[in-house]
Structure 1
Amino acid sequence: MLSARDYNPPKAHKALLFSTLAFTTCFAVWTIFSIIGVKIKQELGLSETQFGLMVATPVLTGSISRLFLGIWTERFGGRLVFTILMLATAIAVYLLSSVKTYEMFLVAALGVGLAGGSFIVGVAYISEWYDKDHQGTALGVFGAGNVGAAVTNFAAPFLVVAFGWQTTAQIYAGVLVAIAVLFYLLTENDPRLARRATEGTTTMPLREQLAPLAKLQVWRFSLYYFFVFGAFVSLASWLPRYYVGAYDMSLEQAGMLAALYTAPASVFRALGGWMSDRFGARRVMYWTYGVSLICLFILSYPATDYVVRGIDGPIGFSIVVPVALFVVLTITLGFVMSLGKAAVYKHIPVYYPDHVGSVGGLVGMIGGLGGFVLPIAYGAMNDMVGVWTSCFMLLFVIVLVSFLWMHGAIVRMEARRYPEIRGAESSRYLPEIQPDYGREGTANN
């Protein structure tokens, strides 16, 4: 992280621009199975659980790889790691078009999933260009590259209809190669890497890089990200299937409506970064969890028929979430999740400025694993329970547990640091204490 004196806005903004472009492209590739997977499901006659596993497999690679990619970015720099990552992913995406069996689709999906690891590469790279007062906004702008999921939901259905899913995969691979070359030619090594080359210093030992991962606080941040990012990825992949099955829509209609969810969940991440700088990351997380609980409670309610014994006989009525309300609720959910994603990553360079790659990699890995585990859980619950809204019931429980842990940890932390704040008075100082924000990095909460 740069000091305010060394902060160079023109160079920083150029790095941010091309990193965001590269991440947007990678994210579009990462979620390609949300569209072509529906066609593959029809061709192979897959069950809901098999479909959920196929959609989730790229997320597994993208999640696990984040820890290693974060460490490598700290060692070798984001410019080189980002470029190699995009080229390797493009090969996997192109080879996807020649696959015939379900098992090989899963293998190919592991390679496609490398695109998801691009996030931590960009976070570690961008963090080195900005000072503390601008990092939240910059990382929020970069994180808006999640809009790549909306690009896929908008564009991929029409490409699939016009050219077939195999050609669509080849087009994606070609675009990814072009962006990789453009990124390498137009960006520079980050300031820390340049400083090492000038001063002849060595990289931080691996044990020291991994030391913060022993802190419970880091794992708490990971749980936050499990929902705000993992659930976002899972729903970006699952909603097209949900619309087709629950509301009997065409793939084109389902893709368009799913994009209405993914677009705000991506674009407004920049706003979440600014709000985290302005109001504090904790406060943004409180808003995120509060609104999410309301939305998920309504979305969880299954279509139900009731019969009431009226004065003049039975009175029947139904409770169902209509399409219009469903769309509004998912857009709202996507919006607050975008704020939460930015808020989580605002914490990391403030609390762990010398370990952004490793800590951010772990948080991103756990969050990404949510995107892997949850679609499988959705499919399994559909097969076992037979209720479409069961996926939202699961998310409601996850949010409730996360919210309670977050609030309890904050209350305990502030009670230790400020013993004079007790009882009812403590509510005046929550959820954010601005003057010394960041000192909690040493706390194990």
Structure 2
Amino acid sequence: MSGLSQSHRILFLNTLAFTVCFACWTLNGVLVTYLVDKGIFNWTVVETGWLLGIPILSGSIFRLPIGILTDKYGGKIVFTFLLLLCSIPLFLLPLANSFWSFAVLSFFFGLVGTSFAVGIGYTSVWYPKNWQGRALGIFGMGNAGAAITTFIAPTLLNNLSEKDPINGWKTLPVIYGGALVIIGLLFIVAAKNKTNQVPSKSMTDLLSPLKNMRVWRFGAYYFLVFGFFVAYSQWLLPNFMNVYHTSLVMGGMFATLFSLPSGVIRAFGGYLSDKFGARKVMYWVLGSSIVISFLLMFPKMEVFTTGPGVMASSNGIVTEVSANEIMVNGKAHKVSEKQISNKNETSIFPVKNSWQEIVVKQNQEVKKKELLAQGITQIKFSANLWVYVVLVTLIGISWGIGKAAVYKHIPEYFPNEVGVVGGMVGLIGGLGGFFGPIIFGYLLNATGLWTSSWIFIFAVSVLCLLWMHRTIIKTMRIKSPDFIRDIEAK
């Protein structure tokens, strides 16, 4: 078997495993929601939130040590062990009968989230530098596993619960655990181990790349493009249901329109990073994230302000007042009535409606330029559902491309520490997925705006772009001082 075909086989196995792992990682989003909705467990809102977040947390914080193990022992060994180990808590999940037992088992099966760090390190050692962007982008398509769970798990739960509404759900985690075992056995049979051919290092040496500020900058990018992708995969469903009053099924479909393209487009992001360079791609990604999150900031809202009023053209007495006219000494002053329009609910752009409300009475004496009817302007912004869906899908696609671009940087700058650096960057990104919904919830409570989360994302996007641009300018000043001086002089 040729070298490249062997590499492609490993890439296929890695991508397949990561897809199944990502589907398991996001299982609680559907399963816990179902168990609470059906009254099988009476968990509070806070307990439900923790059960949604615990797998994301454990799958994030252990990415760094798993990345180090991958660099040291190779991806086949670590991936096989991880797949088989994480199947055990899924097989035990049907036995959980309390919040704490469910939480502990969720923590352990959440370790499948570390599969990203394994796959990044294991994939990169099989490809030359000019292929790594594409290879890592294809591997990252496994993010689409979140969409697979969104599609499959609700239907499976409904079918499994038809005959046994109370215990039918218990088969679902067993099915997921069985999938992990099958992929684990496939790795044993079909995968070939390979590690970076570098001298063994002490733990201090292994962790030394983390002293480099570049690692934390990459982590900040990934906090945005991956962390908020995971966060919004969970946050969009209640968003659609609360703001647009969609059903659970329809809201899930719209949420899938966000998560599925974002996962699949990652391979294209790898190709773009190989062709144009990861830095150029990140400029486009961060720029588009700023623009789209800005457009998504505006909530469904009505603004009332003072509009053009009606004033007396001369001194006199108000002789007659009607709904659309005021008579002053025989001279008519027209008044605009309030118009009721159904257009507001479907309009893409803000709709303006102006009218006047009479403030004088019959037989009242008025002076020239005195206000007869106060002007009121209503600006109604309906935040059209379909425009919102399109923009959310676009920002998801942008982040999908960005996820590949961030990881294209890592083998270029840290060719012998892909596992540890990739693990740390993945850890920071995963923490974005854990903390994102918590931050969004606090912002929602503080402001009363569902779109406050997009204001936060806009701020993070701006900070990331400024950090990247400032770093590049600083580097250019050091590397090419004459060139910079020439530009500034002109």
Q: Could you say which TM-score interval applies, normalised by the shorter chain?
A: 0.7 to 0.9
Aligned to 1:106: 103
Counterpart of 1:382 in structure 2 is: 444
Look up the equivalent residue of 2:150 and give its one-letter code: N
Q: Is the 8 A contact 2:18 2:142 kept in 1?
A: yes
What is the CA-CA distance between 1:210 and the residue it aligns to?
1.1
Matching of residue 180 in structure 1 with residue 180 in structure 2: no
* Matched ranges for 1:326-405 at <5 A: 326-405=388-467
Task: Indicate the SS of the match to 1:317.
Answer: strand
Tell whether the 8 Å contact from 1:158 to 1:252 is kept in structure 2 after alignment: no
Partner residue, 2:10: 15
The alpha carbon displacement at 1:344 in A equals: 0.6
Residue of structure 2 equivalent to 1:315: 377
Change (3 A) 1:295 1:67: same
Residue in structure 2 matched with residue 440 of structure 1 by the alignment: none
Equivalent residue, structure 2, for 1:439: none
Displacement of 1:185 in angstroms is 1.1
Give the CA deviation at 1:424. Answer: 8.2
The question of 1:80 aligning with 2:71 is answered no
Equivalent residue of 1:318, what SS? strand
Q: Of the candidates 436, 452, 470, which is equivalent to residue 408 of structure 1? A: 470
Taking a change above 3 Å as real, the CA distance of residues 352 and 202 of structure 1, as seen in their structure-2 partners, is closer
Q: Give SS of 2:302's match.
A: strand
Distance 2:35 2:445 in 1: 19
Measured after TM superposition, the shift of residue 76 of structure 1 is 1.1
CA contact (8 A) 2:230 2:433 kept: yes
Tell whether the 8 Å contact from 1:27 to 1:116 is kept in structure 2 after alignment: yes
What is the letter of the counterpart of residue 9 of structure 2? K
The alignment partner of 1:387 has SS state of coil
Query: Could you say which structure has the greater relative contact order, defined with CA pairs below 8 angstroms and 6 or more residues apart?
Result: 1
Deviates more, 1:378-387 or 1:335-344: 378-387
Is residue 74–residue 195 contact of structure 2 (8 Å, CA) maintained in 1? no
Correspondence for 2:22: 27
Partner Cα separation in structure 2 for residue 166 and residue 410 of structure 1: 53
1:190 equivalent to 2:194? Answer: yes
Q: Distance in 1 between matches of 2:47 and 2:387?
A: 29
CA distance in 1, matches of 2:444, 2:154: 24
Q: Does residue 216 of structure 1 match 2:278? A: no
Structural RMSD (CA)? 2.0
Partners of 1:34 and 1:240 within 8 A in 2: no
> Which of 238, 248, 273 is residue 276 of structure 1 equivalent to?
273
Deviations 1:230-266 (A, max 9, x none): 1111111222232233322232222221111111111
Distance in 2 of aligned mates of 1:163 and 1:384: 40
Structure 1's 310 and 202: CA in aligned 2 closer, same or farther, altered over 3 A?
A: closer
Aligned twin of 1:168: 172
Instruction: Output the CA distance in 1 between the equivalents of 2:442 and 2:45.
Output: 7
SS class of match (2:483): coil
Offset of 1:128 from its aligned partner?
A: 0.6
- Aligned pairs, number: 413
Deviation at 1:405, TM superposition (A): 1.0
Structure 1 residue 291 corresponds to structure 2 residue 291: no
Query: Which protein is richer in strand relative to its size?
Result: 2
Answer with 1 or 2: which has the greater Rg.
2
1:33-55 deviation per Cα after TM superposition (whole angstroms, max 9, x unaligned): 22223223433555655443322
The answer as to whether partners of 1:52 and 1:378 remain within 8 angstroms in 2 is no
Check the 8 A contact 2:476/2:484 in 1, yes or no. Answer: no
The share of aligned pairs that are identical, in percent, is 40
Post-superposition shift, 1:127? Answer: 0.6
Measured after TM superposition, the shift of residue 124 of structure 1 is 0.4
- The equivalent of 2:129 in structure 1 is 132
Partner of residue 3, structure 1:
none
TM-superposed deviation, 1:18:
0.7
Q: 2-side partners of 1:246 and 1:131: how far apart?
A: 48
TM-superposed CA distance for 1:392, in Å, is 1.8
Comparing 73-82 and 7-16, the one that deviates more: 7-16
The one-letter code matched in structure 2 to 1:88 is L
Unaligned runs of 5+ in 1: 1-6, 196-200, 427-445
Deviation at 1:91, TM superposition (A): 1.5
Q: CA deviation at 1:154?
A: 1.5
1:38 aligns with 2:33: yes
Matched, 1:119 2:116: yes
C-alpha distance in structure 2 between counterparts of 1:108 and 1:54, whole Å: 10
2:222–2:403: 8 Å Cα contact kept in structure 1? Answer: yes
What is the CA-CA distance between 1:191 and the residue it aligns to? 5.6
**Contact residue 49 and residue 376 of structure 1 kept, 8 A:** no
Q: Distance in 2 between the 1:323 and 1:86 partners? A: 40
Q: Is the contact between residue 128 and residue 190 of structure 1 (CA under 8 Å) also seen in structure 2?
A: yes
More helix per residue: 1 or 2? 1
Query: Once the 2 structures are TM-superposed, how far is the Cα of residue 282 of structure 1 from its aligned partner?
Result: 0.6
> Within 2, Cα distance between the matches of 1:261 and 1:224?
19
Quick check: 1:129–1:191 contact (8 Å CA) kept in 2? no
Task: Show structure 2 runs of 5+ residues with no match.
Answer: 162-168, 309-335, 337-355, 357-375
Structure 1 residues 411 and 154: alpha-carbon distance in aligned structure 2, compared to 1, 3 A threshold: same
With the length of structure 2 as denominator, give the TM-score of the two structures.
Answer: 0.80
Please tell me whether the aligned partners of residues 240 and 258 of structure 1 are also in contact (alpha carbons under 8 angstroms). Answer: yes
